[in-house]
Amino acid sequence: MPNKIVITGGPGSGKTTLISFLSENGFQCQQEISRDVILEAQKEGIDQLFLTDPILFSKKLLEGRLKQFEDIHHFKNAPIFYDRGLPDIIAYMDFTKVNYPDDFEKVCHNNRYDTVFLLPPWKEIYKQDNERYESFEEAEKIHHCLLEGYEKYGYEVIEVPFGTLANRMEFIKTSLAL
């Protein structure tokens, strides 16, 4: 089984850009699905599904991320990098103080990643857009919820320092002894 490695972080931390850079450099990556869920809901006339129905939004994310977690037969025996993991869903719900079904917790307990990297909020690169509605201050709070959320499931979270994409990738490779 390949090592399953999560790269997570709040909005505007450079997470998705780093995942794309890893992919461009030959690493196997699973892309973030939340923007797809948001855009699908917008096509159905729901501007912000997370704000309108956070349980439905989170359930769709949980289903999609669980499918990504389980559907790895086409990957070579090497590390797989995930743009966010299952515990991100719980962390965001904790951030918004929304109660969630117990089965969300069970999925997070039963489907474990090997390593978790957390990117801190980065004010210099932060931008709001149609899918990213949080302020920078909210992004900082989300960062803390992510850290606490992963630690709640027993993960040792490795924080990735600010830097160029190459420096961040090198930090990750060194941490993983790749």
Minimum mean pLDDT range among 38-47, 70-79, 123-132: 123-132
Residue 62's nearest CA partner among 87, 42, 36, 97 is 87
Following DSSP, what letter does each residue of 32-90 receive, concatenated? P-HHHHHHHHHHTT-S-HHHH-HHHHHHHHHHHHHHHHH--TTS-SS-EEEES-HHHHH
Q: How many domains does the chain have?
A: 1
Give the domain extent around 88: 4-176
Checking if the pLDDT of 90 tops 60, the result is: yes
| pLDDT over 70 percentage in the chain | 96
Q: What is the pLDDT of residues 106-164, one digit of tens each?
A: 999 999 999 999 999 988 877 766 656 677 888 899 999 999 999 999 999 999 999 99
Average pLDDT for the chain: 89
Q: What's the pLDDT at 133?
A: 66
- Whole-prediction pTM value? 0.89
Q: What's the pLDDT at 129?
A: 65
Give the pLDDT band of residue 57 (cuts 50, 70, 90): confident
Q: What's the pLDDT at 56?
A: 84
Q: What's the pLDDT at 65?
A: 93
Burial class, 20, CB count within 10 angstroms (exposed 0-12 / middle 13-18 / buried 19+): middle
Q: What's the pLDDT at 124?
A: 82
CATH of the domain at 67: 3.40.50.300
What mean pLDDT comes out for the span 59-84? 88
